[in-house]
Amino acid sequence: MDHLNTGTKLLPVSRGYYFIPGGKGQRLPLPLCISGQHKSVFHDLFCSIANSPLQSLTFLYPSLYLSVGDLVCLGDCVRRSKHLTRLKLPNLKSIESYMPILLAVGGSNAIQTLRIDSNTVSVWDKAFQLAVTSLRHNSTLRTLSLAHWTFDLQDKHLATLYLQDLLTHSKLTDLNLTQCTFDLSNGVTMAPTLLLPPLLAPPHPQASPQHHGTHWGAAGGAGGAKMYTGVKIFKLSDLRFKEFPGFLRKGYLLMPYLRNFPK
């Protein structure tokens, strides 16, 4: 029986995927470190952390010494650890470097705080969809910091649906988007063909009426789509939107979007 296609049995280690709870066979890539292939001093360290009572882990200048293999191993550690609640991993160079961590969060039952600020990360559509889907299905994460990130998204409509889905269903209470840039100036409306089932399906645009939290409308965007979110703290200092070539929306020009955000 092909469990990867049917979803009748969860075998994440054998196939390199994990199934989304209630996702009707949808699955996400699994950051899986294979000891025989990962020859690094960090392998033993991260394996030890995964099986230890350590609760907080902070890296200084990680881009200077962590390889792609090390980051996959760290993602595996985050996913497996039952005690690691806080991770600070700033200033990696690309979204590809952060992807093992973001995917690991979706399978973690412990992580509560993730701080991955970086002024060199640029997020494209497929990475945005994978990351949002992973974060949306985590039930423990409360604080997420993505300060200085750039979101270079081509499909405006689909990006809005994914963001709405994240704010509707995630357990986040503190979201930091300080000095982030959302570049939609080259965006077009495309059919969602990049990540079709069973790997990943576009979210349904409707918000859940059972979710109790802040209700806000993105006036002027996505047709004023309504969103429900439990986020209590939005950090949006110097947030910028590039909607059209040559037009940058920031400061008071963001008020139509932020009018009903939490204080």
Write the pLDDT tens digit of every residue in 118-162. 999 999 999 999 999 999 889 999 999 999 999 999 988 888 888
Query: Do the domain assignments include residue 54?
Result: no
Per-residue b or e along 189-212, where b marks 16 or more CB atoms closer than 10 Å to that residue's CB: eeebeebeebebbbbeeebeeeee
Q: How many domains does the chain have?
A: 1
* 241 band by pLDDT with thresholds 50, 70 and 90: confident
Q: What is the pLDDT of residue 111?
A: 98
**213, pLDDT greater than 50:** no
208 lies in which domain range? 117-258
Q: What is the pLDDT of residue 93?
A: 96
Query: Do the domain assignments include residue 71?
Result: no
Closest CA to 89 of 71, 103, 112, 109: 71
Q: CA 64, 66, 71: angle at the middle one, nearest 5?
A: 145
Q: Does the model's pTM come out above 0.85?
A: no
Query: Do the domain assignments include residue 75?
Result: no
Which has more confidence, 188 or 163?
163
Query: Do the domain assignments include residue 197?
Result: yes
Q: CA 79, 168, 103: angle at the middle one, nearest 5?
A: 20
- Which stretch of 133-142, 200-209, 241-250 has the lowest confidence by average pLDDT? 200-209
